[in-house]
């Protein structure tokens, strides 16, 4: 048939006839085999012009072009909210300039905190960095690295104690910017001298002991400058484990304030059903009450001799029972 190119294909129930197209000089000059191939190609090209281009699983790629893969225009889509399993609380808090020391102070923790401090300070040195502390302490050298990074930052570093800040944790709590160091009402703060062990040869033990004494003197000097107390007083207070409540830590100069706005969830419940007052509800449990309660504790020498028989008595032979005991915090 001149002027037309047709492919006689037997029909089935699932097949449709391929439409014929106009003459093609290049295809007509070939043999029958080439003519059938050209007809199929032209039929596919004709059908593809009527429908959308085939796409892969990604709508951004088009495989219908002659050159293989090509990037097509991508329509803007609405931002997708992250799923619950994709949320990372550390990064979310970091966006709010909040970092958290919630473990023992070691080299890994120190490197992580130092990187966060330097990043936030480089991002905006005019905004405060909030460091929340709930740590039993740890390595002196790792803690001094965090301390130096805090002093290196141009931004103020506000420290907040939750739970416990002991040993190096208490030192970092006190090292925050003046006026921006806080304690929660149920938090505990403990300071003491550096701990360590020495073993091996006598010369090696002497080197380790001198290093421990060096850290002790240096930490006492820094705490003396922070708290405003004489270095001799700091050395006496850190000779043994010295636990403090939030108000004792404030009086000592380790923190500047106690976060206590009368919320019932922050303090012990009141006996009656009256709502908590707007002011502090811990007025009965402050430094004076803590000292009175501490008087009732027997001395270590008395416990070793007679055993612990109760809460009454002091270091004298016969103690006096207090009628109005200080309330016990919850």
Residues in contact with 146: Cβ distance below 8 Å, sequence separation at least 6, in sequence order: 101, 105, 110, 113, 114, 117, 172
Q: Over the stretch 135-177, which tens digit does the pLDDT of each residue have? A: 999 999 999 999 999 999 999 999 999 999 999 999 999 999 9
DSSP collapsed to 3 states, 79-91: CCCCCHHHCCHHH
DSSP collapsed to 3 states, 230-265: CHHHHHHHCCCCEEECHHHHHHHCCCCEECCCCCCC
CATH number, domain 88-192+241-285, options 3.30.470.10, 2.60.120.650, 2.40.160.60, 3.90.226.10: 3.90.226.10
C-beta separation of 182 from 256 below 8 A:
yes
Residue that is written with structure tokens 């281009």 in the block = 53
C-beta separation of 40 from 8 below 8 A:
no
Listed by start position, the domains of the chain span: 1-49, 88-192+241-285, 293-322
Residues in contact with 275: Cβ distance below 8 Å, sequence separation at least 6, in sequence order: 264
Look up 215 and say whether it is catalytic.
Answer: no
Return averaged pLDDT per consecutive 10 residues of the chain, 330 residues in all.
48 50 49 62 53 46 45 55 68 90 94 95 94 95 96 95 96 95 94 86 88 93 94 93 93 91 51 48 48 58 57 45 46
Angle, in degrees to the nearest 10, between helices 140-152 and 202-227: 40
What pLDDT score was predicted for residue 39? 63
CA–CA separation, 304 and 292 (whole Å):
23
- The two structure tokens encoding residue 225: 């400058």
Among residues 135, 158, 167, 175, the one annotated as catalytic is 167
Global pTM value:
0.57
What pLDDT score was predicted for residue 150? 96
Among residues 177, 192, 215, 290, the one annotated as catalytic is 192
- The two structure tokens encoding residue 43: 């039929």
CB contact burial 182-202 (16+ within 10 A = b; e otherwise)? bbbbbbbbbbbbbeeeeeeee
What pLDDT score was predicted for residue 182? 94
Look up 167 and say whether it is catalytic.
Answer: yes
């Amino acid at each position: 048939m001149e002027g037309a190119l047709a492919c006689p294909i037997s029909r089935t129930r699932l097949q449709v006839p391929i439409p014929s197209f106009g003459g093609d000089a290049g295809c007509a000059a070939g043999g029958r085999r080439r003519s059938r191939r050209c007809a199929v190609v032209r039929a596919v090209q004709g059908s593809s012009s009527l429908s959308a281009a085939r796409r892969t699983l990604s709508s951004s790629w088009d495989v219908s072009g002659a050159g293989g893969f090509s990037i097509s225009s991508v329509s803007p889509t609405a931002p997708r909210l992250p799923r619950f399993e994709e949320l990372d609380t550390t990064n979310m808090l970091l966006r709010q300039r909040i970092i958290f020391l919630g473990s023992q102070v070691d080299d890994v923790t120190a490197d992580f905190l130092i990187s966060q401090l330097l990043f936030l300070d480089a991002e905006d040195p005019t905004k405060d960095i909030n460091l929340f502390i709930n740590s039993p302490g740890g390595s002196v050298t790792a803690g001094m690295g965090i301390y130096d990074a805090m002093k290196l930052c141009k931004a103020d570093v506000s420290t907040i104690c939750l739970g416990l800040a002991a040993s190096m944790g208490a030192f970092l709590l006190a090292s925050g910017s003046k006026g921006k160091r806080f304690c929660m009402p149920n938090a505990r703060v403990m300071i003491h001298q550096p701990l360590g062990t020495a073993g091996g040869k006598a010369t090696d033990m002497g080197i380790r002991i001198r290093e421990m004494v060096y850290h002790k003197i240096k930490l006492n000097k820094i705490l003396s400058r922070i708290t405003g107390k004489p270095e001799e007083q700091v050395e006496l207070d850190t000779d043994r484990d010295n636990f403090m409540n939030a108000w004792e830590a404030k009086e000592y100069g380790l923190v500047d304030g106690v976060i206590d706005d009368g919320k019932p969830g922050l303090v012990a419940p009141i006996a009656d059903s009256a709502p908590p007052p707007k002011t502090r509800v811990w007025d009965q449990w402050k430094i004076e009450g803590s000292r009175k309660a501490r008087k009732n504790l027997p001395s270590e020498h008395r416990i070793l001799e007679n055993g612990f028989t109760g809460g009454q008595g002091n270091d004298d032979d016969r103690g006096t029972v207090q009628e109005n005991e200080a309330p016990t915090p919850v």
